[in-house]
Structures are given as C-alpha cells and as structure tokens.
Structure 1
Amino acid sequence: MRFKKAILVSTLLTLGILLLSSDPLSSVKANTVNPNENQGNTFTLQIASYVYRKEGKQVHLDNLNDANGQEIKIKQVGSSSLIPKGTSFKYYGKPKAIKTYISTSSQTSTGDRKMYYSIGNGYYINAKNVGITNGPANITIDRNSYVYNSKGKRKKAKTIRRNTSLTVPGKFQETSTPKKYYSEYLSSSGIKFVRWQRRHRFWLNYNTIHGKQYYNIGKGQFIRADNVRYLDGKPVYTNAKETTVVLKHRQEIVNMKSNRESGRYYKKGKKLRVDKYISTFYGYPNDFWFKTGTEDSIFYHVKGTKDNWVSGRVSEVDVRRYIEPINVNNSKFTFIQFKPGITKGIIYDEHGEQKFDNTFFDAKRTDYNEFGYTALKAAELKYIYAPSSKKVELFYLIKPKDQFDFGLLDKDGKAVPRDPNMDNFYLKADDLNYLCGIKLKPINTVAEAEKDK
C-alpha cells in the first residue's frame, strides 16, 4: 500500500484585515495596494513559489521585480511562472485567504483555501513558502472572540468577529522545540526535483493567565490563544496529544498493523478525535516534510479504536489545530548517508577487507540533496579489525534485503547491475554520517575485535 506524501497545509482559511462575514467561504475581494502601506516590509521565499491571482489561479508572468526593483529570473513551468527560492518581495497588508485552484496537484483539492501575501498589482504568494517577515506580527482568528484584560477578566460588549486578522505587539521567534501554540514555515534545498522541505517552527509570545493562554492585542487587551488559527498566515500547531479532524470526503479506514485498507468507511463530514499523527517518510530527519507528488503519506489514528487510521492529507481532512507528527520509520530504524565529497563507497566483508575489486557503493545517492536519493538503512554497528589500516575500526552492517533501493558503481563511476541475492556487507563508519532514526551502539568492544582479528 502506497500513499502520496503531502505538505502539511491548512484548508479552511480566513479573510484579511476587516471584520468579515461569518461565512468562512465568502468570496475574497480584489486587493488594492496602497503605495504607503507597509513600506519597507519584506519577506524572502524559502521555497520556489508560483504566483497567483485573487481568483486563486496560477499565472504566467514575463517579468517581475523583487523588493530591490531588480528583475527576477523567472522559470516558466507550462503556463505558470515559478519564482526562485531566496527572492525577496515587498508585501502589502495582512495575509489573506484565497480559494486556490491547482489542477495539477493531487494533494490540493480544487477550491482549498490557503493564506497568501499580496505582493502588489493583484499578485499573491503562498504564505507557507515565506519565512518570518520583517514586518509587524499578524494573527488570524477563526472564532468570535471575547476581549479580556490583563487579569483574564472579560470586557463587556467587546467581541472580535471570526475571520479577522489583527496586527499585534511582539515579534515572531524561531524555536527548536514545540510551544503550547506555534506554527511553521518550510524551506527547501532550492533544487527543483528534490522532494524534501525542512520545517522551521516559530511562535509568538503569549501570556498565561489563570492557566490559560492569551495573546496581547495591544492597549491592555487580550484574546484567547485557542481562538487563533493562523500565525502570520501559517496554520497553528499545539503541543497537545490530541486534536479533531473533519473528513472532507468519504474515506476508507486504513489498518496499519495489516498494512491494508479495511473495506470500511467513514462518511464525509465525520468529526473524529485523533491521538496520533504519523508520517511514513523513509529516511529523512524528523523535521523534514515533503512537497506534493511524492510517495508515502501521513495518517491520523482515531482515538478509542484499536487500529483505525485515516489519511491526513490536506485534500482529505480539515484540521483546526495540528499536533506534532511522528516519523514511524525513525522510531524503528537507523539511517545513514555518506559524507559530502565521497562518490564511491568501499564495500567490506565481515573481516574488514575490501569485498570487491570493481564494485563500489553509489555514495552520491545517499545525499538527500540529490535527485534519486534513497536512504541507507543500517542494521548494526560493530568494531572490526581492518587489515588495510592495521587497526580496529567501526563498521555499519548493511543488509541489502532491508534497503528500499541502492546503486552500485564500477571504478570508473558507471552504474553496474545489482545481484538481487547480494550478501550482507559492511561500510566504514568514518565514511558515513548518522542521518536520523535510532542511534546505534557498537555490539562489541575494541578489545573483543582485537581478539577476533
């Protein structure tokens, strides 16, 4: 069973800077840029990004200037224009909700809502592809919210309507560990065909009053943090162990233990309490995520069931508060990769001697910055006396049958076919870096290896 990977993105989004209709699906009005609004406020793309119109469709541009007025080198992809990572733009106003239409994306349903920044002239950029802006902090609420004072006492007749975006005191800060409430933006290597995207968590300082969290909205006023759905246009996460999802479509229940669909279904609109959020991404660090169109997937476990799981793709579920995902492969296995600069890895036998004269491991394929990257799974770590160096060294045991895939090269660097019945072999630990998963400990000692040489 294979499922496609997805970027974690929100699908019910909120509208801009005014007190808007209580209908979260009301149409987005055209953006009008005030040349004096947010002058000097910029953001930088962390992922190559398409440009959109207010109608939510990708556009073709012959030219476009960055924040410094310099013309951007645009990459044309079919009828759409792709702006390279690292490009900086001036932006105008607060993030806005746009009903997005992308016919080429299997992960984004037609009409999914996402938050976008206006870059002027009716053009928009997906907020999830943007790093922390240098402008003021903006938050967006999705519930009618009472206003409180600094002691947590509600101010009478003071309510802020849902789908309102607010500029608030403070600055967003990056954090390496989840807070009670936080968000994330994604960054990529900048290489078009590389699948991974790294997660960068950030948060806005909140006040805890009588055990509840509040955001300061200025002038001694506060709102409940639980009513905020977006920080700077990006979906809110919580460090809670559970959350609620709503199914956008009729969805078949997946049984993980048997690795199969169950033949049973949950109905469209079903609200489920879930207590685990997992990814099955193979051989990537925990803080990595993926762009649309790659294999494997993400799932939620339905609380109170033995083994009922549903797809967590943004096209399948609406999630008001995301919980921190767990990479299940990293909880079971050890993944390693060759150090930068090594293109051919020497293959060793159990005695620490080179196993083949003209067959080497394709080391470059273990680099996740390379197209065709495949993780290298290690079975054990062992001290072995190496005759070539005349000393005991650490080696990783590699079992070919455990690998998703790997490549072999001859001494000239040309690919050679791999025997499907290839025996286990070893790779020298000094040639490799730990990547993710369980950290192995040597199964023996240096003294034991000396004795066994």
Structure 2
Amino acid sequence: MKINKKIILISAATLMTLSPVAVISNNQSLTVQAAKKTSKKTITTDPVDYTDRYDGHGKLLNSLIKPNTTLPRLSGLLTIKGKKYYRVGKNVYIRSNAVAKLDNKNTLMLDYNSYVYNNKGKRVRVSTLKKNTPVRFYGTKTIKGVKYYRVGTNRYIKAANVRAVNGKIQYVDETYVTIKRDGVVSYTKDGQTNDTKYKKGQKIEVDQYLYTPASGTDDFAAFNDDSAVPFYRIKGKTDAYLSYLDVTPRKPMKVADYNLQHYTYAEYTQPADMPIYTINGTPSAVVVPHAATNIERQVEVDRLMYIWVPSDQKAELFYHLSSQYVMTPEGESYRLGDVKKYVGNGFVKQSDVKITGVKLDPVNTAQEAEQDSKVATANDKSVLQAEIDKSTSIKKSDAYRLTKRANRDAYNNELKSAQEVLNSKDSTIAAVKLAVWSLGQRAKGLDGKKVLVKDIKHLTKAEASKIYSVAYNTNDIHTPQYNYVIFLNFSDHYRKLTLTTKHYSKPIQDPKYLVGTTTKELNIADYATEK
C-alpha cells in the first residue's frame, strides 16, 4: 500500500498565530513550533500498557512493544483505514493513542475533538484539534474558573478534552455516562434491579466508579468473560448503580472497591501458622495453617483494641475478626465442613498483619486494657444483662425475621456467647465489654425490612425481584435433621408467591435421598409494604 506523505501547510498568517502546536498529520493542516534542526524526533509509548505494532496496511503484527519505550518518529501523523498512526520502523507503525510523549517533551492526548481558545477563554477560529491526537503543551492556566492547557502562543484547549498527560490517564471525580441502549436499568449494590428504565443516548451524572458486592456474581460476570463487572454510582441516588457494560463514560474515573471503602482487611504476613487469640490475650485452639491460600490468610476485621497479654505482662494491639468463623485448609483442595472453624470473638495481633481498606484506631488504651483484665463484678455485668434482655423484642422484629439466615445465626451465636460470659464467674471486665459491643454489632447487622412498593396488588418486575430475596431470606431456616433446598415462584402476574421445600437425608440433591416435599403459598404482605 502506498501512503501519501504529502503535508499541506496552512497559511503563514495562521502559522504565526497558532504556533507552537506540535501536531503533524497526513492530508490535513499542520501547525508546528519552531525547533532546532538538530532535535531528534522520537515517540515514547504508554508507561503502563504494552503497545501493539501494525504494518503499513493497518494489520496487527505479532510482537508487542514494552511500556515506556522510546522509538524513532519516522513520519508525521498518518491515516490508515481511518485510524491514526506513526511510523516507527521499516513497515512498523503504532496507533497515535499509544503515544505518551513526542520528542520526550510534555505531551497530552485528546479524547475529544477540541476547539482552540485564547487567554481570555474566547474561541479562536482555527482548525479543531482531533481526538486521539498527541499534542505538545507548555503548562496550564485557569481561565474564568476553567482549567486549560497551553498548546501554543496565546492558544489553549480545555482540560476536559484531555485523556492523558505524558501517558498518565487524567481521572476525574465525577462525570456523566451515556446509555448504550433502550431499557437499561440500574442496580442496588447487591445486584437487585431498580425500577427506573433509561433510554439510549440518555446522559446520567455519576460520582463513583467501583466494584460493588454484586460485581463478581454470575449474574454480571457471566456477561464479562467471567470477570468482575465495575459499576457507576448514579449521583444523588442512595443505592443505584449502572453496569459499565451498559454505558459509555464521558471521562475516565479511577476504579475503586466498595469493600475497601467500607471494610478493613488484615493479611497475615508471618512465615508461620496464623494464631487466633482470645480476649484474654491467649492463643485459641484454632490456627490458620501457613499452607492455606492467601485468601484464607486475609480476614476481615472490625475493631482495633489493646488486650492485656498475661504471658508478657503487657498490653498489645489486636484486631477483632468480623466473622465468627475462619477457614483453616492445608492447601487449595478441601471440604468446607472440615476447615470452617468457629472462633467466636477471635483476634489477630496487629504486629502480625498488613491492613488494607478502612483505617481503624484503637478503642481503648494500654492502661485500660490492664485494668480490664480483672475479673468482672455483678455490677460490671449489669450492662451485658440489659443487652441480652433486648433479644426478646429483637427476635420479633422485621429486622431479625427478614434478614439473611447468616445474620440471624451470627446474632444467635453472639447471644449464646454473651450468656456464657454473663454466667461465668471467671469472666474479665474486658470479656464483658466485648460481649456487650459484639452483641450490639450483631443486632445492627440484622438489616431485614419489607420492600417498599407502589401497589402490592400490581408489582413491577423489579419489586417482585426484591420481594423474592426477602422471602428467601425469611424462609431459609436451618434444619439439623435434613439437608434442604427451597424454591420460590411468582405467578399470576406477581400476585401469587409459592414456597416449595425439598428435604434430603444426605447433602446430595438426588431423588433417592428425598425425604419429603412441602408447598405453601406465602402472604406477599409479609415481605412488602406500600408505606
């Protein structure tokens, strides 16, 4: 293929007013800054990603160019089959959008066609700079509250149209996204569908780009090559997120992680088994083997506190485990029931772990920890008794009844543990205080509530989906005698909800182990309300 390398120069008058803008293009206006003839023309590739190579026909070549590689710039900006390239070798080209720097000088990359302005913010009637074009720049300037990049003498472009500076992506805190097709819906952070439907081309303001708890679920990852799907949070909404598969963003936002924004994780860093400690500063019977995978050696924690360690006669900082269980496998292959160990209120030493996510501050002092290592009196336990007494009303509440079984189990386990602390004559003040706090935390985790609907007799699909989840949570009740599976089904245009439960004598869904099947109609009003 013959490439026309003819360069058309703009008029001398325009050149004088627009210089210096280093954009070289094929079959379009050229504007350049005066430079020394001895300067070497080079291209520096993306500092992070590998760069593809192409031949003169725009066909992808096999090998890649390493990040942050400096190459000879052997042509101006060329157009091959509608794409922009630079020639960097014999029949070797790279896309213009892979350029981080021209001639090792400050360079920006446009992601939108850009008008040119003067230092008053008034548009100058010169050629528009095209997107995916590398442009030399010479500093920034704020004009009437708007950030600009200077690209020539008294010539500026808006920062809003710049995708990268010297190869570094320019992330924004807020932007808007454009809906790709009719019928797109938003989701809650847990993946439930919201009612509002959006039209193709509709623009929505967003203020976060992040992985939510639903990102890695099959409902979303299956449509993204089994990779977790990030979401854009709709600005001004409490729980409405748009899948990145359904929208096109105006500007890039740095992806965050919902879990790291809201929770704290401790990764064990020692070359040994990970001990789990008690509130009394002694190792428990449970350890996480060193042979466990990294996932098991990273635990969620929710409190940092001093605990008196009697063997060392000093107080040390410990993190409290969020879960009442830890996984203790001796490798990657195991049965869940064999390695899931109950620890109740377990701790890991601060000195043994590395923390990510939300930073936690100590809730007590070393002196208080020493004082609380004493045996609790009846008066010390009175607060715990009051917390336990709340359980009667809590268990009658929607918060308890409609929440996930795991949350109910966690509260019940904590309630049992609190009762044991209350009844033990050896319980320390620290153990009593921890029991009060932990039982209160488990009560806060009871987040069940009825779904708010417009008309309970005419449910929308999104409303029915949320009711389905609440009804499942409510009826997912542990039965030690049998292994069971529950099925819920809406019918009659979401007016009827039926629960079917199958009980098996073994943990295998095989008809020969089926003990019995029960079916009953549920009252939708038990899970939804119009108020």
TM-score, normalised by the number of residues in structure 1: 0.57
* 1:278 equivalenced with 2:225 (yes/no): no
Structure 1 residues 12-70: Cα deviation after superposition (integer angstroms, max 9, x where no partner): xxxx843889xxxxxxxxxxxxxx99545544753566656687775434xxxxxxxxx
Distance in 2 of aligned mates of 1:396 and 1:99? 59
Query: Which residue does 1:442 correspond to in 2?
Result: 362
The one of 166, 186, 189 equivalent to 1:254 is: 186
User: 1:293-312 counterparts in 2 under 5 A?
Assistant: 295-303=227-235, 307-312=239-244
Structure 1 residues 192-234: Cα deviation after superposition (integer angstroms, max 9, x where no partner): xxxxxxxxxxxxx410123222211122322233343444566
Give the counterpart letter for 2:153 in structure 1. K
Query: Which residue does 1:211 correspond to in 2?
Result: 145
Query: Which residue does 2:130 correspond to in 1?
Result: 162
Structure 1 residues 245-299: Cα deviation after superposition (integer angstroms, max 9, x where no partner): 11234564233166313476434333323344333389xxxxxxxxx86643322
Query: Do 2:210 and 2:256's aligned partners in 1 also have CA atoms closer than 8 Å?
Result: yes
Give the counterpart letter for 1:152 in structure 2. G
Superposition deviation, residue 395 in structure 1: 1.1
1:269/1:326 CA distance change after superposition, 3 Å: same
Distance in 2 of aligned mates of 1:245 and 1:54? 35
Structure 1 residues 389-437: Cα deviation after superposition (integer angstroms, max 9, x where no partner): 332211111244588xx55449xx99896543522321111111222x2
Distance in 2 of aligned mates of 1:86 and 1:440? 37
Query: Do 1:89 and 1:119's aligned partners in 2 also have CA atoms closer than 8 Å?
Result: no
Question: Bigger CA drift: 206-215 or 271-280?
Answer: 271-280
Query: Which residue does 2:273 correspond to in 1?
Result: 344
Give the counterpart letter for 1:348 in structure 2. Y
Give the counterpart letter for 2:284 in structure 1. K
Query: Which residue does 2:249 correspond to in 1?
Result: 319
Query: Which residue does 2:302 correspond to in 1?
Result: 379
Superposition deviation, residue 139 in structure 1: 3.3
Query: Which residue does 1:334 correspond to in 2?
Result: 264
Distance in 1 of aligned mates of 2:233 and 2:72? 39
Give the counterpart letter for 2:273 in structure 1. K
Over the residues paired in the alignment, what is the CA RMSD in angstroms? Answer: 4.6
1:324/1:232 CA distance change after superposition, 3 Å: same
Distance in 1 of aligned mates of 2:313 and 2:349? 14
Query: Which residue does 2:121 correspond to in 1?
Result: 152
Q: Give 1 or 2 for the bigger CA radius of gyration.
A: 2
Query: Which residue does 1:24 correspond to in 2?
Result: none
User: 1:162-201 counterparts in 2 under 5 A?
Assistant: 162-163=130-131, 165-170=133-138
Query: Which residue does 1:18 correspond to in 2?
Result: 25
* 1:88 equivalenced with 2:69 (yes/no): yes
Structure 1 residues 157-208: Cα deviation after superposition (integer angstroms, max 9, x where no partner): 33424337353234xxxxxxxxxxxxxxxxxxxxxxxxxxxxxxxxxx4101
1:303/1:443 CA distance change after superposition, 3 Å: closer
Superposition deviation, residue 380 in structure 1: 1.4
Give the counterpart letter for 2:243 in structure 1. S
User: 1:386-397 counterparts in 2 under 5 A?
Assistant: 386-397=309-320
Q: Secondary structure at the match of 1:331?
A: helix
Distance in 2 of aligned mates of 1:253 and 1:407? 41
Query: Which residue does 1:285 correspond to in 2?
Result: none
1:299/1:393 CA distance change after superposition, 3 Å: same
**Structure having greater relative contact order (Cα 8 Å, sep ≥ 6):** 1
Superposition deviation, residue 388 in structure 1: 3.8
The one of 285, 288, 295 equivalent to 1:360 is: 288
1:414/1:306 CA distance change after superposition, 3 Å: closer
Query: Do 2:102 and 2:134's aligned partners in 1 also have CA atoms closer than 8 Å?
Result: no
Q: Secondary structure at the match of 1:439?
A: coil
Query: Do 2:100 and 2:167's aligned partners in 1 also have CA atoms closer than 8 Å?
Result: no
Q: Secondary structure at the match of 1:329?
A: helix
Which structure 2 residue ranges, 5 or more long, are not aligned? 1-22, 29-37, 215-223, 374-531
1:98/1:427 CA distance change after superposition, 3 Å: farther
Q: Secondary structure at the match of 1:226?
A: helix
Query: Which residue does 2:109 correspond to in 1?
Result: 139
Superposition deviation, residue 116 in structure 1: 8.1
Query: Do 1:44 and 1:130's aligned partners in 2 also have CA atoms closer than 8 Å?
Result: yes
Identity across the alignment (%): 25
Query: Do 1:19 and 1:163's aligned partners in 2 also have CA atoms closer than 8 Å?
Result: no
Distance in 1 of aligned mates of 2:182 and 2:161? 28
Superposition deviation, residue 452 in structure 1: 3.5
Superposition deviation, residue 439 in structure 1: 1.4
* 1:122 equivalenced with 2:124 (yes/no): no
Superposition deviation, residue 303 in structure 1: 4.2
Answer 1 or 2: which has greater strand percent: 1
Query: Do 1:54 and 1:124's aligned partners in 2 also have CA atoms closer than 8 Å?
Result: no
Distance in 2 of aligned mates of 1:427 and 1:132? 52
Query: Do 1:46 and 1:131's aligned partners in 2 also have CA atoms closer than 8 Å?
Result: no
Distance in 1 of aligned mates of 2:335 and 2:303? 26
Superposition deviation, residue 333 in structure 1: 0.9
Distance in 2 of aligned mates of 1:56 and 1:318? 26
Query: Which residue does 1:266 correspond to in 2?
Result: 198
Q: Secondary structure at the match of 1:443?
A: coil
Superposition deviation, residue 329 in structure 1: 1.7
Distance in 1 of aligned mates of 2:310 and 2:80? 65
Superposition deviation, residue 332 in structure 1: 1.6
Query: Do 1:140 and 1:233's aligned partners in 2 also have CA atoms closer than 8 Å?
Result: no
Structure 1 residues 300-352: Cα deviation after superposition (integer angstroms, max 9, x where no partner): 23346564321124xx422222345553222321122233x535322222322
1:158/1:46 CA distance change after superposition, 3 Å: closer
Which structure 1 residue ranges, 5 or more long, are not aligned? 1-15, 22-35, 62-81, 101-112, 171-204, 283-291, 367-371
Answer 1 or 2: which has greater helix percent: 2
The one of 177, 182, 195 equivalent to 1:245 is: 177
Distance in 1 of aligned mates of 2:263 and 2:102? 34
Give the counterpart letter for 1:220 in structure 2. N
